[in-house]
Amino acid sequence: MWLEILVALVVVVMSVRFWYMYTSGHCTSTRSMVGKTVIITGGTAGIGKETARDLLRRGARVIIACRNMEKGRKVAGELQSHGDGRGEVVVRRLDTSNLSSVRTFAKEVLDTEKAIHVLINNAGTPGMGKRQVTADNLELTMATNHFGHFLLTNLLLGRLKESGPSRVINVSSVVHKFPSKSNLNDLGISNDYSPSKAYRTSKLCNVLFTRELADKMAGTGVTVNSLNPGIVRTEMFDAVSFNFRAFLFHILLVVASKTSIHLAVSEEVEGVTGRYFCDCKEAPMSDLAYQNDLATELWEASVKAVGLKKDEIHY
């Protein structure tokens, strides 16, 4: 009885989701990515893995940037054996919560890759039960979702510019709309910590950064956009039998990764920059995200927080 209700509910939710997807935006590009190099942070699970799979099918050289090399190699093997073998997958270590890991990764990539055409800042953590601080003295969620990607993007900017037209894509979330302005004065999430507060603030930072970087990159051939993939929850299917659950989860993931793929490959968004997308279509950001002074202040605070050096600045 409960199982039937749950299944019916899932079917309704998915139908609404598909209906929304087809009425609100399409991602129909069949563009080949042969000869293109793409970096995906957190390509070992969820939306990142699904995005990697699609780009491999299109023939891209995909660099999976992951914190766990063993898991990374396993996923790479799986993707390569299921793909049609056109693309190439490379696994490299990157812990986005660790600034020295970001610097090491960036150096390796700059030493080995002649070009970077797409950078997908996708790795993310939903926030930990208790506030944790990294070795760089940053709150862990903010470090993983925002500061690490801020540094990474900056370190790769020179190569991205040389490889233009190139694209930077930030996976944000609809929850970027919840924080208020005062949250941006507390990038360490020291006041009244909660995991959701840390997560939401980090996702607002993603959107603000997208806008500031888009301004800084205007006219260089590097476009920068952020997106909301929609909501994919694994827990929702816990009560359903495993195969069915896995099947539904896979479909939801494919839907969720569409917008990342759209921004990475589609001809439609060539030259489009500083925008926010949902279901492959431009969508409004929160009011805060449109405030240029906030974006600039956050940029400067982040430069300090990650210790960006003079020779690491490429804008």
Residues known to be catalytic: 199
Cα(65)–Cα(97) distance, integer angstroms: 13
Picked from ligand NAG, ligand NAP, none, the partner binding residue 146 (CB below 5 to 8 A depending on kind) is ligand NAG
The least CB distance from residue 255 to ligand NAG, in Å, is: 23
- Check residue 277 for interaction with ligand NAG (CB under 6 A): no
Pair of tokens at residue 99: 């600034």
The continuous run of DSSP H or E covering 297 comes out as helix 292-306
> Using CB distances below 5 to 8 A depending on partner kind, what does residue 171 bind out of ligand NAP, ligand NAG, none?
ligand NAP
CA–CA separation, 59 and 83 (whole Å)? 10
Of residues 171 through 190, those in contact with ligand NAP by CB under 6 A are: 171, 173
Helical H segments across 97-219, by residue range? 99-112, 140-142, 148-162, 195-216
Q: Does 313 bind ligand NAG (CB under 6 A)?
A: no
Q: Binding pattern to ligand NAP, positions 234-273, x when CB under 6 A?
A: ----------------------------------------
The answer to whether 117 touches 167, Cβ cutoff 8 Å, is: yes
Amino acid symbol at 72: G
Residues 110-144 as b/e (b if ≥16 CB within 10 A, e otherwise) read eeebeebbbbbbbbbbebeeebeebebebbbbbbb
Nearest CA to 68 out of 38, 46, 31, 43 is that of: 43
Binds ligand NAG by CB under 6 A, chosen from 121, 122, 166, 259: 121
Nearer to ligand NAP, 44 or 166 (CB): 44
Distance (Å, rounded) from C-alpha 274 to C-alpha 75? Answer: 32
Q: Which of 7, 115, 232, 240 binds ligand NAP (CB under 6 A)?
A: 232
Q: Which two tokens stand for residue 249?
A: 């989860």
The CB-side HSE value for 205 (13 A sphere, CA atoms) comes to 32
Which residue, 210 or 266, is less far from ligand NAG as judged by CB?
210
CB of 226 to ligand NAG, least distance (A): 7
Which of 100/194 has CB closer to ligand NAG? Answer: 100
Q: Are 255 and 17 in contact (CB under 8 A)?
A: yes
Window contacting ligand NAG (CB under 6 A); options: 52-60, 173-181, 203-211, 255-263: 203-211
The verdict on 209 binding ligand NAG (CB under 6 A) reads yes
Interface ranges with ligand NAP (CB under 6 A): 41-42, 44-48, 66-68, 71, 94-97, 122-125, 144, 171, 173, 228-229, 231-232
